[in-house]
Structure 1
Amino acid sequence: MTDQPTYPPKPRPGDRIAIVSPGFAGPGAFPLPHELGLRRLREEYGLEPVEYPATRKLGATPAERAADLHAAFADPGVTAVMATLGGDDQITVVPHLDAELIRANPKPFFGYSDNTNLLDFLHRQGVVSYHGAAVMTQLGRPHAVHPLTDASLRAALFDGGAYELTEAADTSTVIGRWEDPATFAREPAAEPATGWHWHRPDRVVEGTSWGGNLEILHWMAAADRLRPAEQHAGGVLLLETSEELPGATEVFRMLRNLGERGLLRRFPAVLVARAMAWSFEHPHDATARARYRAEQRAAVLRALDAYAPDTMAVFDVDFGHTEPQLVLPYGGLIRVDGPARRITVTY
Structure 2
Amino acid sequence: MRRTRVGPYPPGMTRISYPPKPAPGDRIAVVSPSSGLPGILPLPHELGLERLREEYGLEPVEYPSTRRMGSTPQERADDIHAAFADPEIKAVVASIGGDDQITVLPFLDRELIRANPKPFFGTSDNTNLLAFLRTTGIVGFHGSTVMCELGRPGAMHPQTADSLRAALFTSGAYELRPAERWNDVNRDWADPATFDAEPETRPGTGWTWENADRVVEGRSWGGCLEIVGWLLMADREIAHDLGEYDGDVLFLETSEELPSADEVFRTLRNMGERGLLRRFSALLMGRPKTWSFERPNSPEEGARYAACQREAVLRAMRIYAPDTTIVFDVDLGHTDPQLVIPYGGLVRVDGPARRITVTY
| Counterpart position of 2:185 | 174
| AA in 2 matched with 1:248 | A
| Counterpart position of 1:122 | 133
The answer on 1:5 being equivalent to 2:16 is yes
The answer on 1:34 being equivalent to 2:40 is no
| AA in 1 matched with 2:334 | H
The answer on 1:337 being equivalent to 2:350 is yes
CA contact (8 A) 1:209 1:334 kept: yes
Equivalences for residues 82-93 of structure 1 within 5 A? 82-93=93-104
The answer on 1:210 being equivalent to 2:221 is yes
TM-score (norm 2): 0.95
Equivalences for residues 55-66 of structure 1 within 5 A? 55-66=66-77
User: Matched residues in 2 for 1:10 and 1:260: separation?
Assistant: 38
Shift of 1:4: 3.3
Equivalences for residues 213-232 of structure 1 within 5 A? 213-225=224-236, 226-228=238-240, 229-232=242-245
Spell out, residue by residue over 1:134-160, the C-alpha distance to the aligned partner (whole angstroms, 9 max, x if none). Answer: 000000000001100011100000011
| AA in 1 matched with 2:317 | L
Shift of 1:5: 1.3
CA contact (8 A) 1:2 1:124 kept: no
Spell out, residue by residue over 1:214-234, the C-alpha distance to the aligned partner (whole angstroms, 9 max, x if none). Answer: 000111111111223221111
- Structure 2 portions without partners, runs of 5+: 1-11
CA contact (8 A) 1:168 1:195 kept: yes
SS of residue paired to 1:64: helix
User: Matched residues in 2 for 1:232 and 1:155: separation?
Assistant: 26
| Counterpart position of 2:162 | 151
Distance change >3 Å, CA 91–CA 3, structure 1 → 2: closer
Spell out, residue by residue over 1:14-58, the C-alpha distance to the aligned partner (whole angstroms, 9 max, x if none). Answer: 000100000011101110000000000001100000000010110
Spell out, residue by residue over 1:168-190, the C-alpha distance to the aligned partner (whole angstroms, 9 max, x if none). Answer: 11111212110000111111011
| AA in 2 matched with 1:70 | H
User: Matched residues in 2 for 1:262 and 1:98: separation?
Assistant: 29
Count of equivalent residues: 347
CA contact (8 A) 2:14 2:135 kept: no
The answer on 1:276 being equivalent to 2:289 is yes
Equivalences for residues 249-264 of structure 1 within 5 A? 249-264=262-277
User: Matched residues in 1 for 2:14 and 2:259: separation?
Assistant: 35
| Counterpart position of 1:183 | 194
Residue 318 (structure 2) aligned to one of 286, 292, 305: 305
Moved more, 62-71 or 163-172: 163-172
User: Matched residues in 2 for 1:25 and 1:78: separation?
Assistant: 21
| Counterpart position of 1:70 | 81
CA contact (8 A) 2:14 2:137 kept: yes
User: Matched residues in 1 for 2:169 and 2:39: separation?
Assistant: 29
User: Matched residues in 1 for 2:102 and 2:254: separation?
Assistant: 17
Equivalences for residues 47-62 of structure 1 within 5 A? 47-62=58-73
| AA in 1 matched with 2:89 | V
- Structure 1 portions without partners, runs of 5+: none
Spell out, residue by residue over 1:307-342, the C-alpha distance to the aligned partner (whole angstroms, 9 max, x if none). Answer: 101100000000111100000100000000000000
CA contact (8 A) 1:173 1:189 kept: no
Distance change >3 Å, CA 193–CA 92, structure 1 → 2: same
| AA in 2 matched with 1:126 | G
| Counterpart position of 2:4 | none
TM-score (norm 1): 0.99
Shift of 1:106: 0.1
SS of residue paired to 2:252: strand
Q: Cα RMSD (Å) of the superposition? A: 0.8
| Runs of 4+ deviating beyond 4 Å | none
Spell out, residue by residue over 1:250-273, the C-alpha distance to the aligned partner (whole angstroms, 9 max, x if none). Answer: 100111111110000000101000
Shift of 1:192: 1.5
SS of residue paired to 2:283: strand
Spell out, residue by residue over 1:91-115, the C-alpha distance to the aligned partner (whole angstroms, 9 max, x if none). Answer: 0000000000000000000001000
| Counterpart position of 1:201 | 212
